[in-house]
Structure 1
Amino acid sequence: MHKAKTVPLHTRKKIKTLKLQKGWLKGVLLTLILAVLAGSIAKLPVFSVMGIMIVSILLGMSWKGIMDVPADASAGITFSSKTLLRAGIILMGLRLNVEQIFAAGFSLIIVDILVIAFTLVLMMYIGKLLSIDRHLSALIAVGTAICGAAAIVAVAPLIRAKNEFTAISVAFIAIVGTIVTIIYTFLFPVLGLSPYDYGVLTGATLHELAHVIAASAPGGDVSSDTAILVKLGRVALLIPAAIILGVIFNKNSLKKQKTRFRDLPVPWFIFGFLIMCLVNTAGILSDRMTQMLIALSIFLLSMAMAGLGLGVNYTEFKKLNSKVIFTGTFGAAALAALGFLIVYFI
């Protein structure tokens, strides 16, 4: 009898690496194809109001619900929804200059502080009244108030939340945020808001940075630029908000989590965005190159939106009970109402 040949260890590792690379490429290509398809669909009369980014999200969600997503493609999808999202945001800094940031900066930061404080206090209070686990209500509140899944993942270890609560919160924020984004897009033509006011509204009230970028697009460049500035202010406030919540939930946790500066939830891509603003202000790049990079940023963001849709976890969402759904939905509605009040008075 012939003995079966044993595959050498280095060969097995090489095969495993090739499989991982193939799966990663499969995920990235899927988001790319959906983004290209979304670009074509968005040119149609009915879908032109929604724009390429919202269409990309819907295509991703539809694919996930109908076709499902291969397990080995998850790494590539995550790369698109996370890394390409941040790359697209950084390149969008080329649409602004330093003067615009300083002109709008202080008043928008006040808006961001008001939005975060209001949302956190309200949703955590409602969660307490409904006897929801305070860790779960805090995660949903911080996801609504600041920057969606990124805020949830950053705050979870600081308050020692269960992994199950983290997963449920991320799923909930993804679904609700996407729904509100679509509602905003369809309401834009009838709201009667100026592009600037609409940008403030979306930047101040939507959950994920991706949601803000997608919803503000129908308002044009002014709306998008304003929305990004407002949202990035909320993102920057993640650091102090996370530390404060860590102190509230466990005084000892702050000491443990702050041992290294790099462990802090610093949104580093904001600095890249600001550098691109400086590049645009200095006029280093030609107008043609600038426009090409801005177009690239829109396509990268469309791929990120497709990845966001593909990453919606419907299974985790089914675990939510009525009390949690009410708290999250009411909090999102109250935040939207606050946004309209802010727009009215500024």
Structure 2
Amino acid sequence: MEYSETSAHIVKSPRLQWLAGIAFTFFIALLGLGLSKLPGFDHIGPLASAILIAVGYRQVSGYPEKLRSGIEFSAKKLLRFAIILYGLKLNIDVIFHQGLPLLVRGIGTVAFSIVVMYALSKWLKADASISLLLGIGTGVCGAAAIAAISPIVKSKEEDTAISVGIIALMGTLFSILYTVLRPLLPLSDTNYGMWAGISLHEIAHVALAGAPAGQDALEVALLAKLGRVFLLVPLCFIFMYGMKKRSPEKQKNSAKVEFPWFLIGFIITSLIGSYVLGDIIPIPSQVLDDISNVSTYFLTMAMVGLGLNVSFSTLKNRALRPLIAMALTSILLSVLTFFTL
């Protein structure tokens, strides 16, 4: 349904346009959540499902300009708030007391993914911005890492949306492949869980691949993955430093690198989740689950705002080579981590 002049007149004041834009992303996110419950789409999750709907809307009806302020609020402000809430999932205490060896492996995964993705994108002459985001998403924690890094490296919203869509697709394919291969591999359940946690893209992908191997394998897989999530904070500061140290010529043509204050919020919520909630302040696990669901929904709304910036012509011209580079990087990462267990 095309965004008509009649509906545009209904939303006259800037505040109403802002609220209508947020409501628009809320509604599309709700559709994405519903779509993700259907067979097939349940493997790619609500974020990618919402992006698919938003991209489809853009191709049919164009960008709803009257709602831009609210849509951009969801794509930027809600995105940062969702990442702050995401910190509650990260138990720093568990990582430092039980997962230090896995954290070291996680550092290797992050470094390998970024370096190999960079080399392959150069070789394939792939889009540099999308390839960088995919390398970071592959190494750290998928869409959340891409969303956190993209404002620091000044990526276009279209590039962010394309990268999130690609990593959701690739991560889903690999997690299903892991599940199929598990009975055929000479790995104990624990080592299999470690392999999944070290090499797969999103927390959801790790859970999908790890669960069939049993509770112990799933716990190891999630612990390994949380170690990689922890690395998101230092990685963001490394990229901040790198952006500030760019050549003077490039600095003249770019905006000042803003401090990512949402990362401070991410650190604070991580500390609260690790040392306050449950120990000092008893809180039911259901409440934490509800907060996690809210953060996922906000992140889904943000993905709608990003997806509305994608056009099929650009997607066709810019996404194929980064997709190939990421596929090769993911294969190499899986093989390397398998043989180093």
User: TM-score w.r.t. structure 2 length?
Assistant: 0.68
Equivalent position amino acid for 1:60 in 2: A
Report percent identity of matched pairs.
Answer: 16
Q: Which residue of 2 aligns with 1:184?
A: 174
Shift of 1:23: 2.5
Aligned equivalents of 2:30, 2:77: Cα separation in 1: 9
Count matched residues.
299
- Is contact 2:32–2:46 with CA below 8 Å preserved after alignment? yes
CA deviations over 1:126-159 (Å, ceiling 9, x no partner): 4444566xxx52x334312323243233124xxx
- Is contact 1:200–1:227 with CA below 8 Å preserved after alignment? yes
Aligned equivalents of 1:79, 1:343: Cα separation in 2: 37
Q: How does 1:133-172 map to 2 (within 5 A)?
A: 136-137=127-128, 139-146=129-136, 147-156=145-154, 166-167=156-157, 169-172=159-162
- Is contact 1:81–1:307 with CA below 8 Å preserved after alignment? yes
Equivalent position amino acid for 1:178 in 2: A
CA deviations over 1:222-263 (Å, ceiling 9, x no partner): 24454233133144322224424654x526768999999x62
User: Cα RMSD (Å) of the superposition?
Assistant: 4.1
Q: Which residue of 2 aligns with 1:228?
A: 226
Residue 328 to residue 271, structure 1, CA distance change in 2 (3 Å)? farther
- Is contact 2:92–2:230 with CA below 8 Å preserved after alignment? no
Residue 281 to residue 75, structure 1, CA distance change in 2 (3 Å)? same
Residue 273 to residue 341, structure 1, CA distance change in 2 (3 Å)? same
Matching residue within 311, 334, 338 for 2:329: 334
Structure 1 stretches lacking a partner, 5+ long: 1-13, 157-164, 207-211
Q: Quick check: 1:64 aligned with 2:54?
A: yes
Equivalent position amino acid for 2:153 in 1: V
- Is contact 2:31–2:50 with CA below 8 Å preserved after alignment? no
- Is contact 2:51–2:304 with CA below 8 Å preserved after alignment? yes
Aligned equivalents of 2:297, 2:76: Cα separation in 1: 13
Matching residue within 249, 267, 271 for 2:263: 267
Residue 112 to residue 246, structure 1, CA distance change in 2 (3 Å)? farther
Aligned equivalents of 1:198, 1:56: Cα separation in 2: 21
SS at match of 1:154: coil
SS at match of 1:285: coil
Equivalent position amino acid for 1:103 in 2: H
Residue 58 to residue 106, structure 1, CA distance change in 2 (3 Å)? closer
Matching residue within 321, 325, 346 for 2:320: 325
Structure 2 stretches lacking a partner, 5+ long: 1-11, 137-144, 183-188, 212-217
Equivalent position amino acid for 2:236 in 1: L
SS at match of 1:153: coil
Q: Which residue of 2 aligns with 1:198?
A: 196
Q: Quick check: 1:284 aligned with 2:281?
A: yes
